[in-house]
Structure 1
Amino acid sequence: MQQTPDKPSEAPEAPFTPKFDATGLLTAIVVDGDSGAILMLAHMDKEALSKTRETGLAHFHSRSRGRLWMKGESSGNTLRVERILVDCDQDALVLECRPTGPACHTGAISCFYRELDGDVLRSVNT
């Protein structure tokens, strides 16, 4: 018997019931709302998701700091969220954003500014 891929729900609407992992986090991919370029990857807990929806500014759970973190709280390089896309399992999000500056803490436009070339990381134009 041949298996068929899951089909999108026939219903045009469904309830939002995010599936946080065992540590209480969702994966959030941030993309530029104009170009579609991937800017960064971060994690959101319930509080970060709630603050993001409430303020329109991207908030995340900083695993290294162990706390809520608004992107740009110290640098001023905020991410204005224009749209949130939810994957089929509701365990990952794509935030379409309008950045006010570089997304990466290094000053690069995107955190994904290097490519793997053999065993060496090389800068790419982003």
Structure 2
Amino acid sequence: MQNDQDYGNKLNPAWDEKGLITAVLTDAKTGLLLMVAHMNKESFELSMATKEATFWSRSRKKIWRKGEESGHVMKIQEIRIDCDQDTLWLKVIPMGPACHTGAQSCFYRLVEDGHLVTIPKDKI
């Protein structure tokens, strides 16, 4: 059975029980997976208004604009939402590394046989 949430054109994010939605960020030019973060309604609205990725920090319990301290902002080119509107996909132009470690992507390690293996920078 079809419903508006899955098939309609009305934006109606499915916030979780904490008022958050998952956001996946990829590089708009290369397609590289950069990071995953969470947004609340306020950070989502700020992101749409400013075209800069802004999130809810679950650890700090506050709004944070990616790059507000480092200068490595994420310029939003496109925002998509999945079929049941519980996950966002932001295609961005990164103004520096996505990861707080300085790595281009937060996904710079492989899990192999229960261990972590760092991927060489030229292979990420």
TM-score where L is the length of structure 2: 0.91
Indicate yes or no: 2:100 matched with 1:98.
Answer: no
Displacement of 1:119 after TM fit? 1.6
Residues paired across the two proteins, number = 119
TM superposition outliers: structure 1 runs of 4+ over 6 Å: none
- Among candidates 11, 23, 48, match of residue 53 of structure 1: 48
Partner deviation per Cα, 1:25-82 (whole Å, 9 max, x = no partner): 0000000001111000000000110000010000000000000000000000000000
- Among candidates 76, 81, 85, match of residue 76 of structure 2: 81
Which runs of 5 or more structure 1 residues have no equivalent in the other structure?
Answer: 1-5
- Which has the higher Rg, Structure 1 or Structure 2? 1
Question: Which residue does 1:68 correspond to in 2?
Answer: 63
Percent identity over the alignment is: 43
Alpha-carbon distance between aligned partners in 1 of 2:117 and 2:80, rounded to the nearest angstrom: 31
Q: Secondary structure at the match of 1:49?
A: helix
Structure that is richer in helix per residue = 2
Describe how 1:26-37 pairs up with structure 2 within 5 A: 26-37=21-32
TM-score where L is the length of structure 1: 0.89
